[in-house]
């Protein structure tokens, strides 16, 4: 696979600064590993402060030209990029499976999802409308203009190596902003391949730059620069808080997509098949490594035994293995630290009285594979329910009443996604409105789409990505008052 990717020209290993593929200035590199086998896929440039400063300068210089193109022109270049991402769906999917580990089918699905943000925002680029406000005085006219905020620093995680980038870069470029991307050091290859396709699509040099390597150094350079007007971040809550604090000094606009602690509430009146399918999808997608994955499955007492028994049957049958193997639906976790964290949460729950219903340990395949796991009789006070597991472990909590379910669901600092399964329309509305979450799935476990706003309440973040709301994150509002008319 690697050899084929090399010949396709999509296996880039240097950073992209001002349209030029660039080595680290001191020649340093870091290895990118395949989590399914531990093998080295490639060595990529390991950059820091100097390269980031140059990338910011390139982005700043490109701003004048890019922001002054017509919206239709920016739109058609983004459309070209969308077409190229689609044309290279297979190769990009292979890259994602190689460096991130998710099954190939899921990886190709991510390419489609990732590309959809470029298509959507190519279209929205033409609809960045202003306003005319009725004046309070007869000789005045009041206008509102929307203008690009400027250079954007985009810091992204490894769980969606492509989609977390396009979800930020799509709206930024549509508005006329330019960007410096810092992908995760675990999955830079997909980001670099996407950047290569952006160059081919006619997005001018300097509009999109990629640096990777020393995350704190790159992050601090972005934070310190007065030219960077916006930081958009997806990742851990701890790093998000640091970035928010660091952005204060230059008063940058900040968007954060941080950790979740999603409740998935199954009521007695749920359609069991729908609840099973939805819970399985939201918990085990990407081996549990998404911030909208169910982190706590709350099951009402009347359906508890039936649900856990059928859920256990389904989870036992999930095929674990290398993402390139046909039929595999559960890949490895991203790294050893992730496995240790998942396992420590499981051990803690067991020591506190929870019961393993399925799995509960490392998989016999070794490396970073973990058995798809269900833990029953979990209490909301346990570590496994307080923090994000980010792995293939489903903790199940028993509850009696709707009020109790809402209380448990909201008893967390996070507020990204929540799911409810019920046949009652009244209950659907009641509970959706009561949940302190930015996203609610009702009888549905997979809710992400480019056309709807994605983002969290409380410590799950700030701002929204995707949809028309996603554009506002990259725009300034300017009020123009014309007097003495």
- Please list every residue from 215 through 234 that binds ligand ADP, using CB under 6 A: 215-216, 219
**Measured distance between the N- and C-terminal CA atoms of the chain, rounded to whole angstroms:** 67
18 CB neighbour count, 10 Å cutoff: 17
Nearest approach in angstroms of CB 141 to ligand ADP is 44
Nearest approach in angstroms of CB 234 to ligand ADP is 7
Rama region for 455: left / alpha / beta (φ>0; ψ in -120 to 50; rest): left
Which tokens belong to 330? 């559960």
Nearest approach in angstroms of CB 399 to ligand ADP is 30
- Residues 173 and 166: their CA atoms lie apart, in Å, by 10
Long-range contacts (CB closer than 8 Å, 24 or more residues apart) made by 462-466? 462/244, 462/254, 462/255, 462/256, 463/232, 463/254, 463/255, 463/256, 463/257, 464/438, 465/167, 465/168, 465/171, 465/255, 465/257, 466/117, 466/120, 466/167
Nearer to ligand ADP by C-beta: 215 or 440?
A: 215
Q: Do strands 15-17 and 20-22 pair parallel, antiparallel, or not at all (unpaired)?
A: antiparallel
Would you state the torsion angle of the CA atoms of residues 166, 149, 56, 180, taken in this order, to the nearest 10 degrees?
Answer: -10
291 is known as an active-site residue: yes
Stretch that binds ligand ADP, among 213-221, 278-286, 351-359, 473-481 (CB under 6 A): 213-221
Nearer to ligand ADP by C-beta: 161 or 263?
A: 161
Stretch that binds ligand ADP, among 150-158, 200-208, 264-272, 379-387 (CB under 6 A): 150-158
Cα three-residue angle 377-378-380, rounded to 5 degrees? 140
Tell whether residue 33 is a contact of ligand ADP (CB under 6 A). no
Of the residues 8, 83, 236, 250, which one makes contact with ligand ADP according to CB under 6 A = 236
Nearer to ligand ADP by C-beta: 211 or 475?
A: 211
Which residue, 284, 310, 261, is CA-closest to 446? 284
Nearer to ligand ADP by C-beta: 58 or 290?
A: 290
Tell whether residue 155 is a contact of ligand ADP (CB under 6 A). yes
The kind and range of the H/E element at 399 are strand 393-399
Nearer to ligand ADP by C-beta: 235 or 332?
A: 235
Of the residues 48, 103, 114, 235, which one makes contact with ligand ADP according to CB under 6 A = 235
Of the residues 47, 104, 239, 280, which one makes contact with ligand ADP according to CB under 6 A = 239
Nearest approach in angstroms of CB 213 to ligand ADP is 9
Which entry of 106, 124, 196, 257 is annotated as an active-site residue?
A: 257
Tell whether residue 185 is a contact of ligand ADP (CB under 6 A). yes
Nearer to ligand ADP by C-beta: 152 or 265?
A: 152
Q: Torsions phi, psi of 366, nearest 5?
A: 80, -150
Of the residues 141, 242, 379, 427, which one makes contact with ligand ADP according to CB under 6 A = 242
Which entry of 124, 291, 465, 473 is annotated as an active-site residue?
A: 291
* Residue whose structure tokens are 């489609």: 112
The kind and range of the H/E element at 194 are helix 188-200
Nearest approach in angstroms of CB 158 to ligand ADP is 6
Nearer to ligand ADP by C-beta: 193 or 435?
A: 193
Of the residues 156, 178, 330, 373, which one makes contact with ligand ADP according to CB under 6 A = 156
Q: Got the DSSP string for 256-281? A: EE----EEEEE-TTS-HHHHHHHHHH
* Residue whose structure tokens are 């302190």: 436
Bridge-partner residues for 264, per DSSP? 297, 419
Which residue, 252, 78, 105, is CA-closest to 176? 78
Nearest approach in angstroms of CB 45 to ligand ADP is 14
Nearer to ligand ADP by C-beta: 46 or 439?
A: 46
Of the residues 58, 178, 184, 460, which one makes contact with ligand ADP according to CB under 6 A = 184
Stretch that binds ligand ADP, among 93-101, 141-149, 211-219, 401-409 (CB under 6 A): 211-219
Annotated catalytic sites, by residue? 257, 291
Q: List interacting residues with ligand ADP (CB under 6 A).
A: 155-158, 182, 184-185, 215-216, 219, 235-236, 239, 242
């Amino acid at each position: 696979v690697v050899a084929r990717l090399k010949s396709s020209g999509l296996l880039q290993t240097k950073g992209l600064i001002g349209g030029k593929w660039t080595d680290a200035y001191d020649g340093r590199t870091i290895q990118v590993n395949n989590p399914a086998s531990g093998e080295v896929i490639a060595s990529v440039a390991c950059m820091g402060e100097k390269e980031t400063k140059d990338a910011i300068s390139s982005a700043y210089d490109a701003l004048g030209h890019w922001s002054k193109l017509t919206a239709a022109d920016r739109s058609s270049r983004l459309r070209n990029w969308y077409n190229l991402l689609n044309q290279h769906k297979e190769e990009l999917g292979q890259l994602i499976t190689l460096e991130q580990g998710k099954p190939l089918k899921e990886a190709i699905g991510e390419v489609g999802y990732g590309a959809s943000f470029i298509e959507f925002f190519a279209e929205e680029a033409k609809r960045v409308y202003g306003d005319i406000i009725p004046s309070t005085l007869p000789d005045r006219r009041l206008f509102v203009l929307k203008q690009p905020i400027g250079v954007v620093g985009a810091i992204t995680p490894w769980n969606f190596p492509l989609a977390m980038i396009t979800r930020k870069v799509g709206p930024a470029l549509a508005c006329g902003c330019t960007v410096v991307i810092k992908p995760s050091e675990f999955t830079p290859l997909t980001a670099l391949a996407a950047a290569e396709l952006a160059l081919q699509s006619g997005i001018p040099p300097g509009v999109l730059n990629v640096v990777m390597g020393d995350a704190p150094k790159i992050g601090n350079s972005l934070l310190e620069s007065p030219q960077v007007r916006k930081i958009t971040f997806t990742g851990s809550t701890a790093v998000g808080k640091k970035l928010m604090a660091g952005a204060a000094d230059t008063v940058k606009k900040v968007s954060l997509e941080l950790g979740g602690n999603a409740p998935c509430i199954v009521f007695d009146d749920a359609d069991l098949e729908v609840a099973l399918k939805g819970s399985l999808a939201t918990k085990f997608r990407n081996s549990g490594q998404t911030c909208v994955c169910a982190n706590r499955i709350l099951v009402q007492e009347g359906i508890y035994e039936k649900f856990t028994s059928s859920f256990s049957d389904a989870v036992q049958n999930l095929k674990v293995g290398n993402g390139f193997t046909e039929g595999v639906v559960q890949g490895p976790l991203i790294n050893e630290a992730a496995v240790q964290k998942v396992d420590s949460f499981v051990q803690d729950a067991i020591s506190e009285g929870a019961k393993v219903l399925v799995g509960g340990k490392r998989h016999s395949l070794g490396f970073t594979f973990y058995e798809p796991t269900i833990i029953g009789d979990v209490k909301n006070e346990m570590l496994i329910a307080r923090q994000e597991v980010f792995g293939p472990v489903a903790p199940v909590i028993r509850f009696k009443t709707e009020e109790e379910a809402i209380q448990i669901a909201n008893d967390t600092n996070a507020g990204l996604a929540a799911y409810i399964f019920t046949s009652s329309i009244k209950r659907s509305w009641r509970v959706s409105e009561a949940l302190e979450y930015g996203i609610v799935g009702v009888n549905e476990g997979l809710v992400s789409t480019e056309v709807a706003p994605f983002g969290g309440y409380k410590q799950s973040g700030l701002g929204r990505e995707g949809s028309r709301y996603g554009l506002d994150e990259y725009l300034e509002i300017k009020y123009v008052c014309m007097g003495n008319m």
